[in-house]
Amino acid sequence: MSRIFLLSPATCTGKRAQVLLSPRAQFPLAAQVRTPQGAPLGEVFAFLSGLYFRGKLAYAREFARPPRCSDKRRSPRPKAQGPRPTDPLPGVFVITPSLGLQLPEYPVTAPVLEQFARVQIESANPAYRAPLEASARLVADLAGPRPEVVLLGSIATGKYVDVLLGIFGERLLFPAEFVGRGDMSRGGLMLRCVRAGQELTYVPVAGAVRHGERPPRLEPIRHTRPTKQ
């Protein structure tokens, strides 16, 4: 079964965003964001979100199984933004506040990040919803009817589900293990899955229980030290 992952965005209005955009910041990622070439979206959101987005990105890259696009579904390659119809179709997309679905490699400059910070991620906000709907429809068209589409993000509110469910329908899934967990717990869980090579359990978003009891805390990862010879 082909599988595409959609990753929910990082918060672009917090202290980490202020640090990243500060002209005094000299660490490599901040310097890269200030250049015309920008920094990869995945790296920027991993910095802003920390463990949660790092877990999502590592997990999606490990387990994505992108479908191949038929010649009939190909369209001209867009310029530098939006889903890129390739053969095969990319298996990982990131939801952004104002540019719809983007690849993790999309270049983020300081003006782009500032634009992200100005847009509220609400399903009723056209500045967020319209680009997401347009790019999600393109992905759905290019992927065809068979691939599963897994949302790695919250389904407790409608900010993602209300937009995506009408486009992907029963193909829109999410990890059942996410219910009841906080962001940090989800991030840690996904990193453990990557290390173990084991996927989570995907269930349809339509009709799913969106809230549940908090599961037990994850056991700490035990790092083994190499034995001395």
Domain ranges of the chain: 3-204
The per-residue pLDDT of the chain, averaged, comes to: 87
Q: pLDDT value at position 68?
A: 73
- Quick one: average pLDDT of 194-210? 88
Q: Are 21 and 33 spatial neighbours (Cβ–Cβ below 8 Å)?
A: yes
pTM of the predicted protein model: 0.85
- Quick one: average pLDDT of 80-94? 70
What does the block give as tokens for 56?
A: 């999502």
Opening angle at CA 212, ends 211 and 213, nearest 5: 145
| Omega prior to 147 cis, within 30 of 0 | no
